[in-house]
Amino acid sequence: MKESTQETILLNIFAKIEAILFAYADPISITKLSNILDINTSDCSKHVRDFACELNNDHNRGIKIVFLDDSVQLVSKKEFAEYIKNAIEEKNNYILTPVSMEVLSIIAYNQPVTKGFIEQIRGTNSNGVVNSLVEKGLIEESGRLDIPGKPISYRTTKNFLRTFGLSDLNQLPPLENLNEEQISLEEEIILGNGDNR
């Protein structure tokens, strides 16, 4: 009887986690989630990981939990990407151009960086490309540098991690081994790497 009660409590916590992640939509930190659930951070982290393991391995479910730095997010599974692409509006689908990939790579490996830094490496104006990447949610402003002119610096976002199937920036391929085969954006850059909501 006691085991059944504990199982019911656990399922109830899983249901709460699922409901919160679904409604929140964006990545949410474990700390914030633990505050919402009114449990300590350690227990919250364990419950999320246990639920993620159960959810991610259930072939009858179309959603899973992904870990992005210190945050988690509920997303759809990659194997349903084709159906999701057919369901969402065309504006939510995009392919990155080689120029956009070049700028995104510069930011990813050197962040935080300014437009000036990017332009110094590329040798050409990059305003339009940077603004486009911001609109796509792949990069974001990360403050201003304390130097004359106080230029805005940029960094990659959690959406960038999700799009490339990374948990954190440490999973970026080493620069010396970087080639087109390692990151094939023509296949992967549909918003959310197939993990669209």
pLDDT digits (tens, 9 = 90+) for 138-165: 999 999 888 888 899 999 999 899 888 8
pLDDT band at residue 96 using 50, 70 and 90 as cut-offs: confident
Q: In the CATH scheme, what is the code of domain 90-194?
A: 1.10.10.10
Q: In the CATH scheme, what is the code of domain 2-76?
A: 1.10.10.10
Alpha helices in the chain (DSSP H): 2-24, 30-37, 41-56, 81-87, 98-110, 115-122, 127-135, 158-163, 185-188
Residue among 94, 83, 73, 56 nearest 188 (CA): 94
pLDDT at site 173? 86
How does 54-86 read in b/e, with b if 16+ C-beta sit within 10 Å?
Answer: ebeeeeeeebbbbbbeebbbbbbbbeebeebee
% of the chain beyond a pLDDT of 70? 81
* CA–centroid distance for 76 within its chain: 13
pLDDT band at residue 105 using 50, 70 and 90 as cut-offs: very high
pLDDT reading at 187 higher than 50: no
pLDDT at site 84? 79
% of the chain beyond a pLDDT of 90? 44
SS3 137: coil
Which has more confidence, 185 or 62? 62
pLDDT at site 6? 65
Q: Enter the pTM of the model.
A: 0.52
If you average pLDDT over residues 163-182, what whole number do you get? 72
pLDDT at site 191? 35
| pLDDT averaged over every residue in the chain | 82
Q: In what order do the strands lie in the sheet with 113-114?
A: 113-114, 152-156, 139-144
pLDDT at site 80? 87
51-95 pLDDT tens trace = 999 998 898 999 999 999 889 999 998 888 888 777 765 544 567
CA atoms 45, 50, 55, 56: torsion sign: positive
Tokens of 80: 């349903």
The C-alpha angle with vertex 196 and arms to 195 and 197, in degrees rounded to 5, equals 125
Beta bridge partners of 72: 28, 67
The residues spanned by each domain of the chain are 2-76, 90-194
Which has more confidence, 123 or 10? 123
